Amino acid sequence: MKIEVKNSVKPVDYIKSIKILDKRVNDILLGKKGELLWIVEHNSVYTAGTSAKVEDLLDKKVNVIKTNRGGKYTYHGSGQKVVYFVLDLNKRGKDIRNLVNQIEKCIIRVLKFYKIKSHADRKNIGIWVGKKNNSMKIAAIGIKVKRWIAYHGFSLNVSNDLSKYKKIIPCGIKDKEITSLKKLGINNTNNINKIIVKEFLGIFL
């Protein structure tokens, strides 16, 4: 199976990106286009998934964009890699749990390249670093499935401003911190897009 790979150099407007994803889903369903992997960065934006709760929005002045992905509140901004995909589970086996496992594996492998040990958590979706009783979130996952086309994706904190998360309870998890590659002492991440593509295609091709 062929997966189209796109890297956007300039920040992409969040709403525009969602429209592009929605169109790709429909194009795949109509047989017009194939699967997609798209790495972007967004300008500062807060988004709410389908299970977001009002009490998790700590700063009520924040402008929030509601989205149809799974999950709760999260933040996107400069220095964070947002990895969108559109994958046809009709051809890959209709197993959403397996898809999430594969996405987790991809992120863990990317972090391993930087010698960062990380793990998934069955209770709290996403990828975490540090000991399990004192872990910090470094990547968030949010997926939507329409007629067995899986889309949206994951975000990986590279060098983004972590103070922005103080305005929300990220992903509804109160007692865990957020971290980034930069906070963990990794400053040379110029090749991270290539690593993400390599690991993603290594799993899904």
Phi and psi torsions of 167, nearest 5°: -85, -10
Catalytic position from the list 171, 181, 184, 197: 171
| Measured distance between the N- and C-terminal CA atoms of the chain, rounded to whole angstroms | 6
As a whole number of angstroms, the distance between CA 34 and CA 27 comes to 8
Compute the distance between CA of residue 88 and CA of residue 41 in angstroms, rounded to an integer: 24
Distance CA 42, CA 40 (A): 7
> Please, are residues 79 and 41 in contact by the beta-carbon 8 Å criterion?
yes
Active site residue 106: no
**Phi and psi angles of residue 63, each rounded to the nearest 5 degrees, phi first:** -80, 120
Q: Could you tell me the two tokens for 200?
A: 């993603």
For the chain, what percentages of helix, strand and coil (3-state, to nearest 5) are there?
Answer: 30, 30, 40
Residue numbers annotated as active site: 171
